Amino acid sequence: MVGPEKGVWERADLAPDAVCIDCGGKAVVPGFVDPHTHAVFAGTREGELAMKLRGATYLDILSSGGGILRTVRETRPLDVLSLTRELERHLDIMMAYGTTCAEVKSGYGLTTESELDLLKAVRASNHPVERVATFMGPHAVPPEYSGRSEDFLELMTSLLPTIKEQGLADFADIFCEKGVFTPEQSRRFLTAAKDAGLGTKIHSDEIENLGGTVLGAGLGAKSADHLLVSGEKDLLALEASGTVPVLLPATLLTLFEEKIPPVKRMLELGLPIALATDLNPNCMCHSMQFVMALACYRLRMTPHQVLAASTVNAAKAIGLDHRKGRLAPGFDADLLVLKEGSFDHVVYQMGTNHVDTVIIGGRCQLSGVRH
Ligand SMILES: [Zn+2]
């Protein structure tokens, strides 16, 4: 229940087992929503950082057996239970840094069985952090389909009705990028996803502007993500459709990318910018607090804008803005007690954990979190 203190005490009998938490002097904010993660995968790729710093290109890493193909190789043999454990391990860290709800994409299986298992793991995971599942079979073309992206896309498209029938995902997503999937392929896949009754999302304008953002907006996608090289017509399309722009500043760091997305223009147009970690083996970032600091210092967003982008707008990007992202009557009681008296500290003092207490669904999940 949210309301003035007096009103809350008057209705205390509604929750006889309620615990009183004194938050005197500390800020209380909505739990952070992370609307773009690839958090279900096996293994880590820490050795690639040194390779990249020595000048190895993406293709060098791939040809040495690394990159996404390594993660696919390590993920495929895992059964649903093992995948569930991997995911829960990531969710534990995310929650300690204040994430109370997260989107999780499949996309490191790239076979019928493995993609379905990844989605089953998202559903089977037993964790206080609420999950929204996204089917992203068209994340990459696996080596056995090299040169045959059409055949692979057809296979992934054929899974959509089953995924919907079994309730395995809420959204479908595709990587629309040069050398991955074309806008035409993206249009066909996302249209089939819509026809199957799933919500849609698109990875667009990350490296090259192929028109993926306009395409996603035209199809009524819930979000378009990355948007590093988006232009005016892309932003106007987002404005017209209500598609949420999701920005991933930690990804820019891991790619040593110095450009930033057109944040200033997005704000001028009043677009509801959302922020996300993009947690994946190439961007091993679990902390929305780190992403928020980057959004201030690199994207030049204000602390207010950053908080909205990580709560109310992030909830909108995954279709949960009717019950997540706000401290308001009727909304889920997902909230954080911070260590300081204002949210500004979260972005001002970088690299430490500002969350003291995590409450999800009205239940205290963590308290007295250390730095
Ligand atoms: Zn992604």
Q: What is the pLDDT of residue 22?
A: 86
In whole numbers, what is the pLDDT of the chain averaged over residues? Answer: 95
The Å distance, Cα 125 to ligand 1 centre, comes to: 21
- What are 147's two structure tokens? 């040169």
The Å distance, Cα 225 to ligand 1 centre, comes to: 7
Q: What is the pLDDT of residue 371?
A: 64
The closest alpha carbon to 301, from 272, 279, 327, 278, belongs to 272
At 53, which helix (H) or strand (E)? helix 47-53
Residue 287 has pLDDT above 90, yes or no: yes
48 and 282 Cβ atoms separated by less than 8 Å: yes
Residue 10 has pLDDT above 90, yes or no: no
103 and 35 Cβ atoms separated by less than 8 Å: yes
Residue 2 has pLDDT above 80, yes or no: no
175 and 205 Cβ atoms separated by less than 8 Å: no
pLDDT band at 266 (very low <50, low <70, confident <90, very high): very high
What is the spatial distance between Cα 31 and Cα 275, in angstroms, rounded to a whole number? 14
Helices and strands in the chain: count of H runs, count of E runs: 17, 12
Q: What would the mean pLDDT of 172-190 be, rounded to a whole number?
A: 96
- What are 212's two structure tokens? 């993926």
The Å distance, Cα 107 to ligand 1 centre, comes to: 9
The Å distance, Cα 318 to ligand 1 centre, comes to: 14
Q: Identify which has the larger pLDDT, 178 or 8.
A: 178
Residue 186 has pLDDT above 90, yes or no: yes
What is the spatial distance between Cα 339 and Cα 370, in angstroms, rounded to a whole number? 10
pLDDT band at 369 (very low <50, low <70, confident <90, very high): confident
Q: What would the mean pLDDT of 319-329 be, rounded to a whole number?
A: 97
The Å distance, Cα 143 to ligand 1 centre, comes to: 20
Q: What is the pLDDT of residue 15?
A: 78
Query: 301-312: per-residue pLDDT in tens?
Result: 999 999 999 999
pLDDT band at 61 (very low <50, low <70, confident <90, very high): confident
Please count the other Cβ atoms lying within 10 Å of the Cβ belonging to residue 46: 9
At 84, which helix (H) or strand (E)? helix 80-96
The Å distance, Cα 49 to ligand 1 centre, comes to: 19
Residue 269 has pLDDT above 80, yes or no: yes
Query: 192-206: per-residue pLDDT in tens?
Result: 999 999 999 999 999
Give Cα 108 to chain centroid, integer Å.
15
Q: What is the pLDDT of residue 17?
A: 82
- The residues, any chain, with a CB within 8 Å of residue 146's CB and separated by 6 or more, are none
The Å distance, Cα 251 to ligand 1 centre, comes to: 9
The Å distance, Cα 215 to ligand 1 centre, comes to: 17
The closest alpha carbon to 36, from 226, 185, 267, belongs to 226
Instruction: Lowest mean pLDDT of 36-40, 66-70, 246-250, 291-295, name the range.
Output: 66-70
φ/ψ of 266, rounded to 5, equals: -60, -40
pTM of the full predicted structure?
A: 0.96
- Residue 187 half-sphere exposure toward CB, CA atoms < 13 A: 9
Q: Which amino acid is at 271?
A: L
Residue 5 has pLDDT above 90, yes or no: no
